[in-house]
Amino acid sequence: MNSKIQDRYLTSLIVALTAVLVMATSSARAQTPVTTCGQTLAVPGQYVLIADLNCSGTFANGVNITASNVTLHLGNHTLSSIDCDLSKTIYGIFVPGDISGVKIDGGTVRGFVDGIVLSSSHSKVSATTVTGACQFGIAVQNDGNTVTASRVTRNNVDGIGLQVATNTHITANDISDNLGCGVGLSNHANHNFITYNILSGNGVGSGCGVVISFGTDNAVANNALADNFSGILLEDFGNVVRDNTIRGSLNAGIYVSSSGSPSNVIHNTVLGSAVADMSDGSAACGANTWERNFFDTDLVVGVPDGGPKVGCLR
């Protein structure tokens, strides 16, 4: 390469690198720092938690997001509080229901009454650890929200709770060791998708991996469940459980109550359950469809149904 061409090449390279640095600097400047407990993010834009923030003793929310199109980067830091007064609304991150397009990512929320309350629509929690909440790790409402690639663990009720929620995607999370259920759907939680999660060790004495107690047209699919008290419980009708692997449940692997009929349970592998791998609370399985499941033990209305390829549990 001759000197003139080399000079032009170096000049172009310097201009390009300068542009990248300017863009990076501008982007960094555009991130508003979050530094105090109870801070309200009321303008669309990018926000970042710049250090660990302990809100214990404030008995208030950690961060309030009140504008649409806010992105909160936790910056690999921890937002925490040991305040646990169930008579108060003490949330790690609170997002109300009249906004949309909120994104939360990249750190830890520890403690509070509820870790994250996501009541907005078309919003997302990703790459976040939520642990140690007095009640729910993440409480989700409204339409079109997503929780993905997160770890939700050791919360005192359910890891993730859906209420009055539609078109929610709970996907590719580690949901473990919560005292209630890993994921609980209730109060008109309709047309949601619980897929590709790992759910382990949830429930002490009565909890489960996934429960649908009040909701229809939901899909629980392609999850791996291990060592939960119960695996998957269907207590409302019109839901689908398919292509899950469930092992080592201390109670039933999959249970469909009489109020859960009709529902479809298809192509699941359920083994090693202490009470029964498959269980149906309706006589002759009611209107439920049990097809192409792999299991050893079963119950229908509390009585053994003969095992695979015998009776209505198939």
The list of the chain residues with pLDDT below 70 reads: 1-29
Confidence (pLDDT) at 41? 98
With contact defined as beta carbons under 8 Å apart, do 115 and 130 qualify?
A: yes
Q: Which two tokens stand for residue 224?
A: 């791996």
The pTM score is 0.90
Class of domain 158-314: mainly beta
pLDDT given at position 309 = 86
pLDDT for the residue numbered 34: 98
Q: Would you state the pLDDT for residue 121?
A: 98
Query: Is residue 235 a contact partner of residue 259, using CB atoms and an 8 Å limit?
Result: yes
SS3 percent helix, strand, coil of the chain, rounded to 5, is: 10, 45, 45
- Cis link prior to 262 (omega < 30° from 0)? yes
First to last CA, the chain: 73
Domain positions in the chain: 1-30, 158-314
